[in-house]
Amino acid sequence: MSGDESGRAVRIGELSRRTGVPVPTIKYYVREGLLPQGELSSPNQAHYGEAHERRLRLIRALLDVGGLKVAAIAEVLGAVDDPGRPLHKVLGAAADRLGTAGAADDDAEARAAQTAVGELIARRGWRAHESNPAADDLSRALAAMGRVGHGAFTELLDEYADAAEMVARADLGYVNRRVAVEDLVESVVIGTVLGEAVFNAMRRLAHVDASARLYGADGAGRGEAEGLGGGG
């Protein structure tokens, strides 16, 4: 991203006003390499264009909505800005940053969960390795459920996989249909990170509806009363 793309240039104060990001924070993003330097108009003055504003809004979205840390955002943006990196690898870099890194457990529940995930990947014919960070996250989640007496949740994995495949196809289909070629890489990152936030929120809304229909009367069901479906 260069100043040549930026259209009318503005000073950092105006960039701050447009985006709602404080000037010290913008300077911090520049120091950390998340936001490119502005174009110097004097030794102490830089100007920023539309490309900077767009990148700044992307950083804030990844931080505030996507929940990524600054270091993770730097890695994702580094993949976005690497012209030699295949799109599939950029998608992987974004997805990996969503993981909950941690040392793997080695108890009966963890081993059973890892087996279940490996079998799921093989059964579905997914082109993903069992060591993928998302597979690790899934194993940890299933192991935790097993430790609290819900190991039978693995019986639902194929139903979850059906839904996940449909959502993944919808995500990438949107990108292929609606996004200009020059914006493709950035859009895939946005769809991966922010799309997860969209899906999680929609799943919660569906829980509210399902619990009300299953347990409730006139929308005030046991699920809502007990916090199962939230405060809908």
Q: Specify the amino acid at residue 185.
A: V
- Measured distance CA(11)–CA(99) in Å, rounded: 37
The predicted structure's pLDDT at residue 225: 43
Supply the pLDDT for residue 156: 96
pLDDT of residue 224: 45
Is the residue at 172 inside a domain? no
Q: Is residue 106 part of a domain?
A: no
Measured from the Cβ of residue 75, the count of other Cβ atoms closer than 10 Å reads 15
pTM for this structure?
Answer: 0.69
pLDDT of residue 179: 62
Contact indicator for 113, 140 with CB cutoff of 8 Å: yes
Query: Distance of CA 157 to CAs 99, 108, 113, Å?
Result: 19, 19, 11
Q: Is residue 85 part of a domain?
A: no
Q: pLDDT of the chain along its 232 residues, tens only?
A: 444 444 578 999 999 999 999 999 999 999 999 999 988 877 778 899 998 998 999 899 888 888 888 888 888 888 778 777 776 776 677 766 676 655 567 899 999 999 999 999 999 999 988 788 889 989 999 999 999 999 999 999 999 999 999 998 888 787 777 666 556 677 777 777 888 888 899 999 999 999 999 887 654 444 444 445 455 4
What does residue 121 show for φ and ψ, rounded to 5 degrees?
A: -60, -45
Residue 39 has φ and ψ, to the nearest 5°, of: -85, 120
Radius of gyration of the chain (CA): 22
Q: Would you state the pLDDT for residue 23?
A: 95
Show the domain range for 15: 3-64
Q: What is the pLDDT of residue 219?
A: 47
Give the span between the Cα atoms of 227 and 186, in whole angstroms.
Answer: 37
Domain containing residue 22: CATH number: 1.10.1660.10
How many domains does the structure of the chain reveal?
Answer: 1
Residue 101 falls within a domain, yes or no? no
**Any domain includes 111:** no
Phi/psi for 187 (5° steps) reads -65, -35
**56 in a structural domain:** yes
